[in-house]
Amino acid sequence: MTYGLRQAGIDVIAGVDFDKDVKKTYEYNNPGSVFIHTDVRNLNCNYFEYKFNLLKNDDNLIFAGCSPCQFYSIINSDKDKSKQSKDLLMDFARFVDYYKPGYVFVENVPGILTHKDSVLPSFLKKLKSIGYDNIVYEIVNMSYHKIPQSRKRFSLIATRLENVNIHLPVPEQKSMVLKEVIGQNNGFPKVEAGHKDLSDFNHSVAGLSEISLQRMKKTRHNGGSRLDWADDKKLQLRCFIGKDDSFKDTYGRMWWNKPAPTITTKFFSISNGRFGHPDEDRAISIREGATIQTFPKDYIFKTNSMATAAKLIGNAVPPEYAKRLGETIIKNNR
């Protein structure tokens, strides 16, 4: 979110995150924007007032809330653990109430709109009670915003300003597809499973066991799935026997002419979704995942851990969409 808003020309003062692994990458790629490592639930509302001389009721001030969304996600996760963060949107609302910025952004999973225990109705009620009468939100398919993946997200813009016609970024006519961003023609040389790229480009790929490599070799190029070897007793996994209609994307390859699947924090593993390269016998690399998320190729992930880099990439708001949010607000203010 920070990087995309900066690309739009917005001065991002600071970002708050509980994940300490974010700090080095955030600060390196966003010089001048301060990283605040803390649990927002424990942060006093007046912190930004004293730390950054932030003014209340500033029409040009934007607050963006991108709270953890595991509780509302369809992806299997520890729901008891995720319950701890399901109401973070209301902690975000504390700061909105205190500072009353001109604009508020929220990005989250679609489930926050549909889940029976969602905090969203309370959040919207709070916004309206403090003067944010102008609110727009919808589920956005980001593949129509020059993001080459089928990534659906809840997106919201709210303002307390009068006579402002706010709207979400206008979608393109066509979705973006994978072949437009990765492959040899786009600067990604062929590599094998287990390849380690020690440069900042980080075209590193997770290794595969011999049997998993055999599975990839038997998976049809350009969209093949684990069904291609379901009748091979040597390759078939016991947990999938008789379950051809379940977890269809696991061990699958992406398609060149379609958007990639949603990039998650586990995109470097073929056992966690359709994260196989369309042609090469491997999962996509760290840099390929970042590119599908629209991070530019000179964005540096300051970690030596593939799992940590993938977590930062998968958890991010695609910078291209954040940029479009910022540009939408700038145009409104002209």
What would the pLDDT profile of 205-226 be if each residue is shown by its tens digit? 999 999 999 999 999 999 999 8
Q: What is the Cα–Cα distance from 160 to 61, expressed in whole angstroms? A: 11
Predicted confidence (pLDDT) at residue 114 exceeds the cutoff of 90: no
Looking at the 3D structure of the chain, how many domains does it have? Answer: 1
pLDDT at 87 over 90: no
Q: What angle do CA 273, 277, 282 make, to 5 degrees?
A: 85
Residue 56 pLDDT greater than 60, yes or no = yes
DSSP conformation letters of 45-112? TTHHHHHH-PPTT-TT-EEEE----GGG-SS---HHHHGGGTTHHHHHHHHHHHH--SEEEEEE-THH
Q: What is the CATH number of the domain that holds 67?
A: 3.40.50.150
Q: Report if residue 209 sits inside a domain.
A: no
Contact call for residues 37 and 100 (beta carbons, < 8 A)? no
Given this model, what pLDDT does residue 115 score?
Answer: 78
Residue 146 belongs to a domain: yes
Structure confidence at residue 72 (pLDDT): 43
pLDDT on residue 269: 96
Average pLDDT of span 233-241: 78
| 251 is a domain residue | no
Quick check: is 203 in a domain?
Answer: no
pLDDT tens-place string over residues 136-186: 999 999 999 999 999 999 999 999 999 898 999 999 999 999 999 999 999
Q: Is residue 327 part of a domain?
A: yes
pLDDT at 247 over 80: no
**Each residue of 229-247: b (16+ CB within 10 Å) or e?**
beeeeebebeeeeeeeeee
Structural domain contains residue 273: no
Predicted TM-score (pTM) of the model is 0.93
Residue 117 CB-density burial (10 A; 0-12 exposed, 13-18 middle, 19+ buried):
exposed
The pLDDT, as a whole number, for residue 231 is: 81
Per-residue pLDDT band for 30 (boundaries 50, 70, 90) equals very high
Phi first, then psi: give them for residue 72, nearest 5 degrees: -100, 5
Residue 83 lies in a domain: yes
> With pLDDT > 70 as the criterion, what percentage of the chain qualifies?
92
Burial (CB < 10 A; 0-12, 13-18, 19+), residue 30, is middle
Tell me, yes or no, whether 104 lies in a domain.
yes
Indicate whether 73 pLDDT > 70.
Answer: no
Containing structural domain, residue 161? 2-173+318-332
Of 5-9, 60-64, 65-69, 81-85, the range with the lowest mean pLDDT is 81-85
List the structure tokens of 246. 């379940």
Helix 88-99 / helix 120-129 crossing angle, nearest 10 deg = 10
- Average pLDDT, whole number, for the chain? 92
